[in-house]
């Protein structure tokens, strides 16, 4: 029999979707318990150990214990690590690179703008950009976003950033003119990494160990470093790590009763709550609702529409890589900051561009990156680029050249991932986790337009890199198709019609009272940017609505 306790609000998940809600509601006086299935790391746990951090299960569970399964393009199911974002207190914000872009007004009106795209499930959002803009501003202030307002001509007017941009690599002195010569408008990349002290935390040391690593300096503005400590400081917020939510329970009136979970000792517990906020990621939140099926909701909790798990979206993703001669660059630009890890440039000319030759006019974002100081990652990349035929002495020489003779500049592309039947989440019919619960099975297949737009964006990125002078020794494409680890949306979309959405405009379930969803699941379309900032902002927006309901004694 489950051990019981109770609180006002239970938040399932402590990342970008859960932490802002916990922060806002605990400051409003609500008693909040956060259930996080992963470990509670502190700044002392973060190192530059590539083996311990990247190649083991510090942030992503091992598939032997907590797998997902995946079916790619209709092929057979396989166990996978894909589909996890970050399993720890703070979620994926702990090991993110910190790139934060706002959606554009057109992202909220995709169905209106483009109509019925064949096989795609496009939908307008039930809110507009103006509804989210104040919460974007709030995230900037609370967490310390760096950037330069007005530098990107393709985003709406906005308030100044609280901090200036991070320092760029000197290669921007030749990259910017090359891009402008082709008609593009490069601008400093906005990031949740401090360019100078802010909120009691120090500025960035430019060590380069951002992506996949926790920040041992506290300069990366994860929710672990910002919102969660402030929530706990109120005395109203309790974070329970290594607590795996099993199902959400409801009463006879379809009102939430609380959450059943397994604690760190393996004991099944129940915590009663007046409000449950689900924020475990688009994949895992859909799984929890499906696991919560009961006699009233036989297809899954709040799933009368049959849409829970449908319309899963990631971000289309590609990469163009330019390899320059380091000595030539030093001769042209000088030696100062030549070892900086950040290029700090983005381009959004193709965010909505019917003149770019795309088969679908909605493109996305180009993000330019520098050379990261990861020896194991570099070694694997160099060998993989040669079809794994590079090893031994030739591989050692390639690694030496990489760090001493070459300068790599890369352009990542983030594009619109169209929602459609080919990409969805369901419960696996056979594979279970260590708690004997069915795992999430991801069906991953691209809408055909995604593939073509991604290829075209990679080609456009190559054009920019090929225009740089001094010329690159080599410019190559590297089209992955999608990023499934860091960017997830859909599966529990919001809207005004219960027949075509699971949640209402305030992200409360149409069919279950006081059940809210605040991770990327709510998004009906993906946008042409990573969704982290939008998830953070929307979580604050929804939490404010819940707090107002508490104040009106509606809950």
Buried residues in 62-85 as b, exposed as e (16+ CB within 10 A): ebeebbbbbbbeeeebeebbbbbb
Nearest Cα to Cα of residue 186 among 408, 482, 467, 527:
467
- The model carries a pTM of 0.97
pLDDT of the residue at 277 = 98
Cα separation, 487 vs 38, in Å, equals 19
H helical segments located in 15-81: 19-27, 50-54
DSSP state of 155: S
Quote the CA–CA distance of 109 and 418 in Å, as a whole number. 14
Tokens of 107: 């992202």
Residue of 411, 438, 314, 348 whose CA lies nearest to 101: 348
Query: Rounded distance, CA 85 to CA 484, Å?
Result: 8
Give every CB contact of residue 321 below 8 A, 6+ residues apart in sequence.
408, 409, 410, 465, 475, 476, 477, 478
Q: Residue 542 in contact with residue 518, Cβ under 8 Å?
A: yes
Q: Cβ(477)–Cβ(462) under 8 Å? A: yes
Instruction: For residue 319, list its beta bridge partners.
Output: 412, 478
Torsion from C-alpha of 505, 522, 281, 219, nearest 10 degrees: -70
Q: In CATH, what number does 3-41+48-73+83-145+162-551 get?
A: 3.50.50.60
Residue 103: the pLDDT is 97
How far is Cα of residue 38 from the mean position of the Cα atoms in its chain?
17
Token readout for 415 is 């594009």
Asked if residue 366 lies in contact with residue 347, where contact means CB atoms within 8 angstroms, the answer is: yes
Nearest residue to 405 (alpha-carbon basis) of 495, 330, 512: 330
* Lookup: tokens for 157: 């007017």
For 135, the 3-state DSSP assignment is helix
CA distance 275 to 118: 39
Longest dimension (CA), the chain: 74
Q: Which two tokens stand for residue 366?
A: 């180009």
Helix (H) and strand (E) counts in the chain: 12, 21
Distance of CA 169 to the CA centre of its chain: 25
Query: pLDDT means per 10 residues in the chain (555 residues)?
Result: 82 98 98 97 94 89 88 88 93 96 97 94 97 98 98 95 98 98 98 98 95 95 98 98 97 97 95 98 98 97 98 92 97 94 96 84 94 92 91 95 96 94 96 93 92 92 98 88 77 98 98 98 96 98 98 94
Q: In what order do the strands lie in the sheet with 268-272?
A: 3-6, 268-272, 256-262, 244-250
CA-to-CA separations, 375 to 27, 33, 381, in angstroms, rounded = 43, 40, 10
For CA atoms 140, 145, 146, 147, give the dihedral sign: negative
Q: Are strands 515-517 and 275-278 parallel, antiparallel or unpaired?
A: parallel
* Number of Cα atoms under 13 Å in the Cβ half of residue 281: 25
234-264 burial by CB neighbour count: b if 16+ within 10 A, else e?
Answer: bebbebbbbbbbbbbbbeeebebbbbbbbee
Query: Which pLDDT does position 63 carry in this prediction?
Result: 84
Residues 485, 303 contacting (CB under 8 angstroms): no
């Amino acid at each position: 029999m489950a051990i019981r306790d109770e609180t006002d609000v239970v938040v399932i998940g402590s990342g970008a979707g859960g932490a802002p809600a916990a922060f806002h509601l605990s400051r409003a006086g609500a008693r909040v318990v956060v259930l996080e299935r992963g470990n509670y790391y502190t700044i002392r746990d973060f190192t530059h150990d590539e083996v311990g951090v990247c190649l083991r299960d510090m942030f992503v569970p091992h598939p032997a214990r907590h797998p997902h399964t995946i079916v790619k393009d209709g092929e057979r199911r396989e166990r996978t690590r894909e589909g996890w974002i970050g399993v720890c207190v703070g979620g994926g914000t702990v090991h993110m690179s910190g790139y934060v872009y706002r959606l554009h007004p057109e992202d909220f009106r995709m169905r209106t703008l483009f109509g019925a795209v064949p096989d795609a499930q496009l939908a307008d959002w039930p809110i507009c950009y103006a509804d989210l803009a104040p919460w974007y501003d709030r995230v900037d202030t609370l967490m310390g976003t760096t950037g330069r307002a007005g530098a990107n001509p393709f985003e709406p007017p906005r308030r100044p950033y609280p901090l200036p941009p991070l320092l760029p690599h000197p290669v921007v002195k030749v990259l910017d003119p090359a891009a402008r010569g082709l008609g593009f408008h490069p601008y400093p990349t906005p990031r949740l990494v401090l360019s100078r002290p802010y909120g009691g935390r120090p500025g960035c040391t430019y060590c380069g160990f951002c992506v996949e690593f926790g920040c041992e300096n506290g300069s990366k503005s994860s929710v672990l470093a910002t919102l969660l400590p402030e929530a706990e400081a109120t005395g109203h917020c309790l974070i329970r790590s290594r607590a795996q939510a099993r199902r959400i329970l409801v009463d006879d009136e379809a009102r939430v009763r609380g959450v059943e979970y397994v604690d760190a000792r393996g004991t099944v517990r129940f915590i009663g709550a007046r409000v449950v906020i689900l924020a475990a990621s688009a994949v895992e939140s859909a799984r929890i609702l499906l696991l919560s099926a009961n006699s009233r909701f036989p297809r899954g909790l709040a799933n009368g529409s049959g849409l829970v798990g449908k319309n899963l979206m990631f971000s289309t993703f590609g990469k163009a890589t330019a390899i320059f001669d380091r000595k030539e660059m030093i001769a042209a630009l000088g030696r100062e900051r030549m070892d900086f890890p950040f290029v700090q440039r983005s381009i959004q000319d193709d965010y909505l561009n019917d003149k770019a030759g795309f088969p679908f006019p909605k493109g996305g974002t180009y993000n330019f990156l520098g050379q990261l100081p990861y020896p194991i990652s570099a070694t694997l990349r160099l060998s993989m680029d040669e079809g794994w035929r590079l090893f031994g002495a030739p591989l050692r020489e390639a690694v030496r050249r990489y760090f001493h003779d070459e300068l790599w500049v890369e352009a990542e592309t983030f594009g619109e991932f169209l929602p459609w039947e080919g990409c969805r989440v369901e419960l696996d019919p056979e594979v279970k986790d260590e708690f004997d619960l069915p795992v999430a099975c991801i069906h991953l297949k691209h809408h055909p337009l995604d593939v073509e737009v991604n290829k075209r964006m990679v080609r456009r990125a190559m054009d920019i890199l090929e225009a740089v002078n001094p010329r690159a020794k080599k410019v190559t494409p590297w089209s992955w198709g999608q990023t499934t680890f860091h960017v997830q949306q859909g599966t529990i979309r919001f809207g005004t019609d219960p027949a075509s959405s699971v949640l209402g405009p305030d992200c409360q379930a149409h069919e279950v009272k006081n059940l809210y969803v605040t991770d990327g699941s709510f998004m009906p379309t993906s946008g042409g940017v990573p969704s982290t900032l939008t998830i953070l902002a929307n979580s604050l927006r929804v939490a404010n609505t819940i707090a107002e309901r508490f104040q009106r004694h509606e809950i």
